Amino acid sequence: MSSIDLAGQYRSEFPIFEKLTYINSCSQGALAVSVKAAFTTYLTTLEEQGSAWNDWVTQQELVRGLTAQLLNAKPEEIALTTSASAGVNSLATSLDFSGKRNKIVTTENEFPTMGQIWHAQESRGAKVVHIENRADLTVDTEALINEIDEETLLVAITHVCYRNGARTDIQPIIEAAHKMGALVILDTYQTIGAISIDVSEIDADFIVGGFLKYMIAVPGVGFLYAREKSTNHLIPTSTGWFAARDLFAMDIHSYDPAKEARRFETGTPNVPPLYPASAALEFMLKVGVKNIESYVAQIHDELRSGIIEIGGNVVTPGGKNQHGALLAVASLDEHAHVAALEGLGIVTSSRGGNVRISPHFYNNQDDVAKVVAGFAKTKEFLRK
């Protein structure tokens, strides 16, 4: 294990482990005591103040600032949305597909949001091209780069695939896109909180994600990072009063969007989940994502070895920098398999014919042993 025993330090703050072996952070992070308590803080504002607008707006700006800190970005480059889909949709409305540069290049490893939203733009003139994966399920980087040309407006790539855990080699793709004058949006929902993301090192124009998975918060808050130097010319037509330059101008006769990334927001924010989001961000910054990445890598490898040893087929690529925290195991009946594991007190999930295991910093070697034993007891579901 890592020299830093993160589970030893923090596991007691997650009550779910008193009852279950929870290893499903790719769907929803385990609930920390401090994150749960943040809901009470929100409810208290209602009880004591009624309409607590100052508190609520302050909370939104706190989440914006903490998100910027996590990404090593400027707060002005962060838009807070109700979901990753909301951020991508807002971006889509800012793009012009009427000219020669109307192509969107994407992959077969995307979450439905990244496929459906771009195909929805076909009615506006967009041309969407999907690049087939290699046999090992990783993105064919060379084929994708070869598809980027002077007609490419946007390259839309996931950092880690939600179905199989394959990690995209993003840097050469971003460099190739920029060389051809195309923008890049990176979906980090399966990496934010599990893999360190620094916008001074990752030169994507847009980064989208949310806080309910490895960020240990709850549904209802997402983010869209918009790099200041390359995206300021894009103005969405999807808008609302919280996207205005002056929120309280209350002008109904013109459209005066914010100059910052806030222009990609819309109406009144989803206030209740902002409170657990800020608590979760503070927790994650305290633990340190680089520490988490190192710690979880070893748990991931131990799970992979144990499952292979009992005859399981791990479809997640195993090479260095080829996977995220998520580990996908081929199953003959993924839904029945997940249910059988749940009957043993092991919480996992499934997508695309695979059972998904996703360790985090609160998991330990006892969890590894229980998960491997659980797969051994449910071997009838393993797909070779």
Give the pLDDT of the chain (384 residues) as one tens digit per residue: 446 899 999 999 999 999 999 999 999 999 999 999 999 999 999 999 998 989 999 999 999 999 999 999 999 999 999 999 999 999 999 999 999 999 999 999 999 999 999 999 999 999 999 999 999 999 999 999 999 999 999 999 999 999 999 999 999 999 999 999 999 999 999 999 999 999 999 999 999 999 999 999 999 999 999 999 999 999 999 999 999 999 888 899 999 999 999 999 999 999 999 999 999 999 999 999 999 999 999 999 999 999 999 999 999 999 989 999 999 999 999 999 999 999 999 999 999 999 999 999 999 999 999 999 999 999 999 998
129 part of a folded domain: yes
Domain-ending residue, one of 284, 314, 343: 284
Check which CATH number belongs to the domain holding 14 and give it. Answer: 3.90.1150.10
Task: Judge if 73 and 169 occupy the same domain.
Answer: yes
Check which CATH number belongs to the domain holding 101 and give it. Answer: 3.40.640.10
Task: Please name every residue paired with 80 in a beta bridge, in sequence order, or none if there are none.
Answer: 223
Q: How far apart are CA 56 and CA 91, in angstroms?
A: 25
Task: Judge if 244 and 182 occupy the same domain.
Answer: yes
Task: Judge if 41 and 56 occupy the same domain.
Answer: yes
Domain-ending residue, one of 233, 260, 284: 284
Q: Three-state SS for 147?
A: helix
Task: Judge if 296 and 250 occupy the same domain.
Answer: no
Angle at 192 between CA 247 and CA 74, to 5 degrees: 40
Q: How far apart are CA 115 and CA 268, in angstroms?
A: 27
Q: How many folded domains does the chain comprise?
A: 2
Task: Judge if 154 and 293 occupy the same domain.
Answer: no
Strand order in the sheet with 78-81: 78-81, 222-226, 206-210, 183-187, 152-158, 103-107, 127-131
Q: Give the residue numbers spanning the domain of 335.
A: 6-31+288-381
Task: Judge if 221 and 246 occupy the same domain.
Answer: yes
Question: Residue 186 has which token pair?
Answer: 């990176």
Q: How far apart are CA 35 and CA 344, in angstroms?
A: 27
374 part of a folded domain: yes
- Residue 17: C-alpha distances to residues 29, 173, 331, 345 (Å): 12, 40, 26, 10
Task: Judge if 17 and 78 occupy the same domain.
Answer: no
114 part of a folded domain: yes
Question: Residue 324 has which token pair?
Answer: 């995220």
Q: Smallest Cα–Cα separation from 380: which of 288, 315, 312?
A: 312
306 part of a folded domain: yes
Domain-ending residue, one of 235, 261, 284: 284
pTM of the model: 0.96
Q: Smallest Cα–Cα separation from 23: which of 380, 307, 309, 315?
A: 307
Task: Judge if 270 and 330 occupy the same domain.
Answer: no
Task: Judge if 229 and 315 occupy the same domain.
Answer: no
Task: Judge if 370 and 257 occupy the same domain.
Answer: no
105 part of a folded domain: yes
Task: Judge if 263 and 217 occupy the same domain.
Answer: yes
Question: 221-233 burial by CB neighbour count: b if 16+ within 10 A, else e?
Answer: bbbbbbbeeebee
1 part of a folded domain: no
Show Cβ contacts of residue 199 under 8 Å, excluding neighbours closer than 6 positions.
Answer: 71, 72, 73, 77, 207, 225, 227
296 part of a folded domain: yes
46 part of a folded domain: yes
Task: Judge if 198 and 133 occupy the same domain.
Answer: yes
Distance of CA 72 to the CA centre of its chain: 16
